[in-house]
Amino acid sequence: METAENNYCPIIDHTSLRFVAVLVAAGKGTRAEGDLPKQYRSFLGDPVFIRSIPAFYNHDQNVGVVIVHPSGDSDRIKQYLQASGFIDDERIVLTEGGKNRTDSVKKGIEQSKSFNANSVLVHDAARPGLRLEDVTSLLKELERYEGAAPGLPVTDSLKHQSEQGIRSVSRENLYRIQTPQAFRAEVIYDLVEDIKESATDEFTLAEQAKRLVTLTGGHERLSKLTYPDDFKNLESILSNSETRVGLGYDVHAFENGDNVTLCGVDIPHIAKLKGHSDADVAWHALTDAILGAISAGDIGDHFPPSDPQWKGAPSSVFLTEAKRLVRDQKGEIINVDITLICEAPKVNPHRTAMIRSTAEVLGIDASRVSIKATTTERLGFEGRREGIAAQAVANIRLFSRQSDETA
């Protein structure tokens, strides 16, 4: 969703981004009832606000976390942090909130300037389902955009009711906007200068200021805790998941050439792999593994080799589609493991690059990608250097699909 037609936004490498997270936990949470303000209530065994901290704090590119809390609560916050193992850390800074959300966010963003980060993520503490991968996806979008937020397609039927009666509203192209909302630092600092009391969220401000903004895929688990029932619903989404495993296998033969593509990485070799697409045997096996885990057929069903549009296609297209199908089923990839079987080329020198490119296409952390290689002791077609085989396993978590029933 690009809102600025003529806006120029210089492209930057997302790995050069250092971010500060502003965790907004200053509300009274009156609609959630209960004895405690909702950010302190227990959620799967932790105070709600604590659950989001590791996704920021444990991210390689994080330089600081600003916790915006209700006035007078700094000791309470410190106690919770200590109980969760965050002790006297200069990367975690507390700041008192203001009289409303806008005011609190403004204070948090002001405080974040002390970290000199080049990007800022603003997150509602009442969304405890945050994961490290969500942060990575947002930072990736800041490569080309000034701001990004998770957006979840609306699946319920929508009605507009007024004095004129009830009419249907198309849900096509409609999204629920979640947090964290990520911005290049200079952009959010600029926007906050003239922030109005009534601003709903920072992404809306950026959009209204015609900044170049986009949406990443949202998640049910990023839903906000607002009403009493939300606690048990979100707990059940996060804990009622089922784990699926899929297996993939592929072979491509060598033909005349000087380069093979494995996991999106070009590797010089005395031959190339024969195939309709870029013949990336590793990503083909991985695509099949992911499709297998969600019982969605195989790569040939989705991308028939007879279809000329896939001729020479980069296999990232297939993998991206498999990832999209997982998300469609309200799932996410936990980890993948690929084994390449060949005598040559040597895979090891390229392994880090292959892990990085696979993690990037799947939108998961590199620690969730494993790539290995083996020979067959010169036995079989791999041993005779006639081609390369690849095996892959994908481990996928499908979250509770209650919302399907109401769609």
What is the contact surface with Mg ion in residues (CB under 5 A)? Answer: 250, 284
Q: Which is nearer to Mg ion, 73 or 250 (CB)?
A: 250
CB of residue 196 to Mg ion, shortest distance in Å: 55
Measured from the Cβ of residue 402, the count of other Cβ atoms closer than 10 Å reads 13
Dist CA 119 CA 184 (whole Å): 4
CB of residue 391 to Mg ion, shortest distance in Å: 13
Nearest residue to 43 via CA among 233, 223, 229, 231: 231
Q: Which is nearer to Mg ion, 134 or 250 (CB)?
A: 250
153 φ, ψ (degrees, to nearest 5) = -55, 140
Q: Which is nearer to Mg ion, 9 or 290 (CB)?
A: 290
CB of residue 281 to Mg ion, shortest distance in Å: 6
| Per-residue burial over 189-213, b = 16 or more CB atoms within 10 Å of its CB, e = otherwise | ebbbeebeeebebbbebbbebebbb
Positive/negative CA dihedral, 310, 316, 320, 326: positive
Q: Which is nearer to Mg ion, 133 or 250 (CB)?
A: 250
Q: Which is nearer to Mg ion, 4 or 251 (CB)?
A: 251
Q: Which is nearer to Mg ion, 138 or 273 (CB)?
A: 273
Dist CA 125 CA 148 (whole Å): 18
Q: Which is nearer to Mg ion, 94 or 313 (CB)?
A: 313
Measured from the Cβ of residue 251, the count of other Cβ atoms closer than 10 Å reads 16
CB of residue 224 to Mg ion, shortest distance in Å: 43
Cα end-to-end span (Å), the chain = 24
Q: Give the start-end residues of each E strand in 142-268.
A: 147-153, 158-162, 165-169, 175-177, 181-184, 213-217, 242-256, 259-262, 265-268
- Torsion on CA atoms 52, 58, 60, 65, rounded to nearest 10: 50
Dist CA 225 CA 170 (whole Å): 26
Q: Give the start-end residues of each E strand in 25-126.
A: 42-43, 46-47, 62-69, 92-96, 119-124
CB of residue 395 to Mg ion, shortest distance in Å: 22
Closest residue to Mg ion, judged by C-beta, is 284
Q: Which is nearer to Mg ion, 41 or 284 (CB)?
A: 284
Q: Which is nearer to Mg ion, 175 or 249 (CB)?
A: 249
Dist CA 164 CA 162 (whole Å): 5
For residue 52, what are its two tokens? Answer: 């989001």
CB of residue 369 to Mg ion, shortest distance in Å: 19
CB of residue 279 to Mg ion, shortest distance in Å: 7
Residue 18 identity (one-letter amino acid): R
CB of residue 185 to Mg ion, shortest distance in Å: 43
CB of residue 390 to Mg ion, shortest distance in Å: 9
Q: Could you tell me where the DSSP H helices lie in 125-196? A: 132-141, 185-193
- Torsion on CA atoms 295, 301, 305, 308, rounded to nearest 10: -130
Dist CA 317 CA 309 (whole Å): 12
CB of residue 344 to Mg ion, shortest distance in Å: 19
Q: Which is nearer to Mg ion, 207 or 250 (CB)?
A: 250
